[in-house]
Structure 1
Amino acid sequence: MDFNTLIIGAGAAGLICAAQAPGKCLVIDHAKAAGEKIRISGGGRCNFTNLYASAENYISRNPHFAKSALARYTQWDFIDWVTRSGIAYHEKTLGQLFCDTSAKEIIAMLLKGVADAGGQVQLNTAVQSVSPIDGGYAIQMSGPHGPGSVTARHLVVACGGKPIPKMGATDFALRLAQQFGIPVTHTYAGLVPFTFSGAQQEAFQTISGVAAPARLQTNGTTFEEAVLFTHRGLSGPAALQVSSYWAPGDALTLGLLSEMALRQAVRNAKETEGRKSPLTVLSRLLPARLVSLVLQDLALPERIADLTAAQLDRLAERLTKWQLTPAGTEGYRTAEVMVGGVDTSALSSKTMMAKTQPGLYFIGECVDVTGWLGGYNFQWAWSSGWVAGQAIKAQL
């Protein structure tokens, strides 16, 4: 064999895997630079993990599959590596950890890990075909470096999913899985803004750029974070989180205030400043432009003192349980993740190796394990890549 290990994809999962796999290891990627999604993540500062990462923060047909990898290589293990590498970081919100300076520090740390393990990274290299051979795999490649064909005992597929095609993302990993008879689940864009059409889109265009804390729910799953109204629809952390649980035709329930807070504010205003308008009173609790849009079709009185019980009920329904049905999402063009992927029933949770194809591993985003927003998907990349690397190391 030319190499003990060949890894397709120089992203988060592929690089950490290569850093664990000593011996002759080659990482290839069609991009011009390693770790491009790491570089652009977190506004260039890389939300590299989450303090609270556990299997409960992931979507999969088998919610138990991720437990083994996440337990064997935890967020604390990766944080320790970051700390030992002298990378300064901070917690932003909800356990999200970011580099103080640049995501490039994480990439440099990973590349040093690969080099220290004796591995090589070859960029501008695309895979043309993969074929099983006795004891391993033959990989046909194209690129300026050559050779055009190599063999490897272990083949690790770490080339991600479909999001952000302008960066070169494809469904190659899924097609390769299917080539070897490994099932793939239904896939769709996740952590992605919603789009609306017709009158609802026109209404949201008038408040584009307005953000507010909210409670957003679909299909029994709820997130309490900010929403951001855009010229095309609804974005912000809560919307991105909920999008991974949404299916076309499903409604969203948007809560902008708690019913208790709303009724208390109205009661106090009626008692002390009854001449004030509902718009004035509610704009103390929410952005005025948003309040104006919410109230425009409710036919409320000019004075808060004249608000009837029935009108307050309608107002409460709108502000606490606003029913919205998106036309769709922005799709893979802006999605942060792909939901679904290589079926976990076909993989070992301890090694990430295909059960029916010795020496073939699938790690990271291409697997049917999708994390929440906030560093969880990077942690899955670190954990799944690490266990695959350890499994390969154990066979040397």
Structure 2
Amino acid sequence: MNGHYEVVIIGAGAAGLMCAAEAGKRGRSVLIVDHAKKPGRKILISGGGRCNFTNYDVSANNYLCQNPHFVKSALSQYTNWDFISLVSKYGIEYEEREHGQLFCVDSAKHIVDMLLQECDLPNVSQRYRCDVQDIEKTETGFRFKADTDTITCDSLVVATGGLSMPKLGATPFGYKIAEQFGLSVVSTSAGLVPFTLHKEDKEDFAELSGIAIPAEITAQDGTLFKEALLFTHRGLSGPSVLQISSYWKAGQTVTINLIPEADVLDLFIQSREKHPNQSLKNTLAKVLPKRLVEVLIERKVLEDKPLKQFNEKQLHEIDQQLQHWQVLPNGTEGYRTAEVTLGGVDTQHLSSKTMECKQVPGLYFVGEVMDVSGWLGGYNFQWAWSSGFVAGQWV
């Protein structure tokens, strides 16, 4: 089935489907191709199957990119409110969770169904389990092999995503296309990912697996997140850890405030006055899980004795230790559990207004394949909607 399309989009994820819908509405003949069996696989499993599809508060500050200004144009052309309106138009119920995160009340499947309905146009075709090879530039556009067929197109959109979640079929294909056409790729790593710990730390904290506490985590560059921290049998997870992992580099420590919501020094001084024989362990158990306090004592981070045996300077030092607990991660769990890929196609090669490659007319990149990574909280999906939308206006 050889054929010509005005627009071919490689990748039927969030950004690819959004781009296809927009190009289709403009009357362009569109073909979406994907090697997966079905569209939107990452959407379906995201947010525990509920899809955190955007956030009430979105700005360029919520993104990591070597050019921090790059995201501004697309985010302003298609905002979080535009996507919320689309979701509302389809009658999809959603709820707000902490930090303005918006989730489907029922199922992420509603978001995929909505995007497929948006693409349900006579001029938009889809092909799955399709292997794309031998992409080449022609005088009028591009030519490639789709399985055994030869397809030509005027505009080619790369919406292949990053390397996170390889079980869903993630591959470096998009980066290879970029490099084939002379574009540089910012080195990639796993982002929004749990930390693993060194052997001794892992053994000490393994028994805390499943315990979550409010925490404030700071990376060496000063970036700070205040959200829950979760101990796991492999290391540390939870929203605060996932967020800070995108700012962490191998070999660096992170600083954790274990008591961001408690004035522990005041608790110590008042408790010492009223209950001078009360142990440090039992005092701290009022603001921290008792088992965590016990582990910190076992590790000699803290010394357990009656409060009356501590002077005010010592109590202040304990307070500071709990606010500045240093952890040296062994690494991260990697792409297997990462929610996003840091790095990607260098945005210096792309127009921030259209997502078109400056030196290869007709070649576009959208979504996670490029060097744009959002925070946890719906920001990566918003980038998919915004970048997909703007490319759809131009392809």
**Shared fold by TM > 0.5?**
yes
Equivalent position to 1:316, from 315, 319, 327: 319
- Classify the secondary structure of the residue corresponding to 2:263: helix
Code of the aligned partner of 2:222 = G
- Check conservation: 2:262, 2:287, Cα contact below 8 A: no
Query: What is aligned with 1:158?
Result: 159
Distance 1:171 1:299, change over 3 A: closer
- Check conservation: 1:257, 1:320, Cα contact below 8 A: yes
Q: CA deviation at 1:299?
A: 5.6
Query: What is aligned with 2:358?
Result: 355
Query: What is aligned with 1:287?
Result: 289
Q: CA deviation at 1:310?
A: 4.4
- Check conservation: 1:217, 1:252, Cα contact below 8 A: yes
**Pair 1:69 & 2:70 matched:** no
Equivalent position to 2:382, from 376, 379, 383: 379
**Pair 1:39 & 2:44 matched:** yes
Distance 1:130 1:299, change over 3 A: closer
Q: CA deviation at 1:258?
A: 4.1
Query: What is aligned with 1:5?
Result: 7
**Pair 1:271 & 2:266 matched:** no
Task: After superposition, give the CA deviation of every residue in 1:351-381 in whole Å (9 maximum; x if it has no partner).
Answer: 0000000100000001111100000000000
Q: CA deviation at 1:305?
A: 2.4
Task: After superposition, give the CA deviation of every residue in 1:238-263 in whole Å (9 maximum; x if it has no partner).
Answer: 00000001110011001011497010
Matched positions, count: 388
Q: CA deviation at 1:129?
A: 2.1
- Classify the secondary structure of the residue corresponding to 1:21: helix
Structure 1 unpaired stretches of 5+: none
**Pair 1:183 & 2:184 matched:** yes
Task: After superposition, give the CA deviation of every residue in 1:46-77 in whole Å (9 maximum; x if it has no partner).
Answer: 00001111101000000000000000000000
**Pair 1:51 & 2:53 matched:** no
Equivalent position to 1:303, from 301, 306, 322: 306
Task: After superposition, give the CA deviation of every residue in 1:287-315 in whole Å (9 maximum; x if it has no partner).
Answer: 11112112331462432222233432442
Q: CA deviation at 1:190?
A: 0.3
TM-score, normalisation: structure 2: 0.96
Query: What is aligned with 1:199?
Result: 200
Q: Which shows bigger deviation, 61-70 or 202-211?
A: 202-211
Query: What is aligned with 1:250?
Result: 252
Equivalent position to 1:138, from 123, 131, 143: 143
TM-score, normalisation: structure 1: 0.95
Segments of 4+ moved more than 3 angstroms: none
Query: What is aligned with 1:102?
Result: 107
RMSD, aligned α-carbons: 1.4
- Classify the secondary structure of the residue corresponding to 1:187: strand
Distance 2:83 2:160 in 1: 21
Distance 1:384 1:282, change over 3 A: same
**Pair 1:367 & 2:383 matched:** no
Structure 2 unpaired stretches of 5+: none
Q: CA deviation at 1:274?
A: 2.1
Code of the aligned partner of 1:33 = K
Q: What percentage of residue pairs aligned between the two structures are identical?
A: 49
- Classify the secondary structure of the residue corresponding to 2:142: strand
Equivalent position to 2:240, from 209, 213, 238: 238
Q: CA deviation at 1:317?
A: 3.0
- Classify the secondary structure of the residue corresponding to 2:293: helix
Q: CA deviation at 1:183?
A: 1.1
